[in-house]
């Protein structure tokens, strides 16, 4: 790492600020892209493709929440409500606006859902100027229920009694994405976009300002950061990501329904950030993967071994309960033992190999 410490040239600052300062990291990213964009959609079966699609969608929302929670230090228990804002905004737009006999295309519906969620997020973020911690948690919790209630009780938004709006599959210039692998690539594309956007955000001026507010708000003010403005930015950015997540869920399931966006979903996303690692992009990805895949693992394990020691008819119920027990337990374990989450473990492994075989 000597070369990073001593370069005095412009090119080296650019290199130093790069996301991937080492060639091996670039190769690893290339390998991962190859794996996730070509190998997996080609070889994985429908079931695993669908699970990975859910991970990809969750990554977008979890990144948004981590920008608010991990990077800016502002809590939100209403993240799922912003997803519902995105989903219902997009659902109404695509079903009401037709262009040449087709529903409004996703590349318009998606940003529209994100922007609407960001606007609502701005409003919900206003209390963050005055209240912190538990009080902000309660304010955002209230937002979760108020938004849910409004959507449910406004037929013009929710599409009537069942509060569900069905939509067509996403289409791009006549190519309708019906197959599992097509949907997988569709959501994966936005997950990658979200990862790049979030990574860029946190390494530039705005991201630094957010972390400054989290660490030391007095010092942030004295160096000229408008704390209120940047807290609102954080809420808007986080809600935008949530809104886009909601639209992705809508396209993935072909339906927008409030049941997908209830308080437990908000908790799931908090768990992704905490278990993955607060204030870490890589950690967020781990967290999303972990939270989506954990129930799958529990189910597989229980279905294989459960029948040996319990009545198989109880299994579905036990599996559901186990999931909750694991979530709660893991959140507590990580909060107490490893607040930096899975990302810390990853860093430890990486640092070990970075100097390998010369450990000093």
Partner 1 sequence: MAEPNGHDSILSVRGVSKNFGGVRANNDVSIEVPRGKIFAIIGPNGAGKTSLLNMISGFYVPDAGEIAFEGKSINGLKPNEIAEHGIGRTFQNIALFRGMNVLQNMMLGRHVLMKTGVLSSFVYWGKTQREEVAHREKVEELIDFLRLNDLRKAPTGELAYGLQKRVELGRALAAEPELLLLDEPMAGMNQEEKEDMVRYVLDIAEQRGTTIVLIEHDMGVVMDISDRIAVLDQGEKIADGTPDEVRANPRVIEAYLGADH
Out of 122, 192, 197, 322, the only residue in the binding site for partner 1 (CB under 8 A) is 197
Name the nearest CA neighbour of 56 among 196, 244, 240, 191. 191
Using the minimum distance from each CB to partner 1, give the nearer residue, 165 or 237: 237
Using the minimum distance from each CB to partner 1, give the nearer residue, 132 or 323: 132
**Is residue 218 a contact point for partner 1 (CB under 8 A)?**
yes
Residues 11-30 contacting partner 1, CB under 8 A: 13-14, 16-17
Rounded to a whole number of angstroms, the minimum distance from the CB of residue 219 to partner 1 is 4
Out of 225, 242, 265, 292, the only residue in the binding site for partner 1 (CB under 8 A) is 225
Out of 208, 299, 323, 344, the only residue in the binding site for partner 1 (CB under 8 A) is 208
Strand partners, 98: 103
Residues ≥6 apart with Cβ < 8 Å to 46:
180
Rounded to a whole number of angstroms, the minimum distance from the CB of residue 195 to partner 1 is 11
CB-facing half-sphere around the CA of 35: CA atoms within 13 A:
7
**Where do runs of H (alpha helix) occur along 154-261?**
155-158, 180-202, 205-215, 217-222, 227-253
Question: What region, left, alpha or beta, does residue 173 occupy, with left being phi > 0 and alpha being psi -120 to 50 degrees?
Answer: left
Both tokens assigned to 48: 């695993």
Rounded to a whole number of angstroms, the minimum distance from the CB of residue 209 to partner 1 is 6
Rounded to a whole number of angstroms, the minimum distance from the CB of residue 215 to partner 1 is 4
Q: What are phi and psi of 165, to 5 degrees?
A: -125, 125
Rounded to a whole number of angstroms, the minimum distance from the CB of residue 229 to partner 1 is 9
Rounded to a whole number of angstroms, the minimum distance from the CB of residue 221 to partner 1 is 4
Residue 335, SS3?
A: helix
Across 308-347, b (16+ Cβ under 10 Å) vs e yields eeeeeeeeeeebeebbeebbeebeeebeeeeebbbbbebb
Using the minimum distance from each CB to partner 1, give the nearer residue, 17 or 152: 17
Using CB under 8 A, list all residues that contact partner 1.
5, 8, 10, 13-14, 16-17, 197, 200-201, 203-209, 211-212, 215-216, 218-227, 233, 236-237
């Amino acid at each position: 790492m000597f070369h990073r410490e001593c370069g005095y040239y412009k090119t080296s600052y650019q290199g130093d600020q790069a996301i991937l300062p080492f060639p091996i990291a670039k190769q690893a990213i290339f390998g991962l892209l190859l794996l996730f964009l070509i190998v997996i959609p080609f070889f994985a079966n429908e079931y695993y493709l669908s699970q990975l699609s859910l991970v990809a969608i969750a990554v977008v929302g979890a990144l948004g929440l981590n920008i608010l929670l991990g990077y800016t230090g502002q809590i939100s228990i209403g993240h799922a409500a912003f997803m519902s804002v995105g989903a219902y905004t997009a659902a109404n737009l695509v079903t009401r606006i037709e262009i040449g006999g087709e529903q409004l295309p996703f590349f318009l519906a998606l940003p529209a859902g994100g922007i609407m969620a960001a606007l609502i997020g701005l409003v919900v973020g206003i209390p963050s100027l005055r209240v912190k911690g538990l009080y902000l948690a309660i304010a955002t919790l209230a937002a979760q229920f108020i938004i849910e209630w409004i959507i449910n009780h406004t037929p013009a938004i929710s599409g009537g009694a069942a509060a569900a709006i069905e939509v067509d599959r996403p289409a791009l210039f006549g190519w309708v994405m019906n197959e599992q692998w097509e949907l997988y690539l569709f959501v994966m594309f936005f997950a990658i976009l979200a990862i790049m956007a979030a990574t860029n955000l946190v390494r530039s001026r705005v991201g630094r300002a957010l972390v400054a507010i989290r660490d030391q708000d007095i010092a942030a003010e004295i160096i000229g950061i408008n704390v209120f403005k940047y807290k609102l930015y954080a809420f808007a950015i986080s809600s935008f990501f949530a809104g886009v997540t909601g639209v992705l869920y809508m396209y993935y399931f072909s339906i927008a329904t409030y049941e997908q966006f209830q308080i437990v979903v908000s908790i799931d996303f908090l768990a992704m950030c905490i278990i993955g690692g607060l204030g870490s992009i890589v950690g967020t990805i781990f967290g999303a993967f972990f939270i989506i895949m954990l129930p799958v693992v529990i189910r597989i394990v229980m279905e294989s071994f459960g029948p040996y020691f319990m009545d198989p008819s109880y299994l579905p119920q036990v599996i559901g309960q186990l999931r909750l027990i694991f979530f709660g337990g893991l959140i507590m374990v990580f909060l107490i033992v490893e607040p930096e989450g899975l990302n810390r473990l990853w860093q430890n492994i990486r640092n070990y190999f970075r100097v390998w075989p010369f450990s000093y």
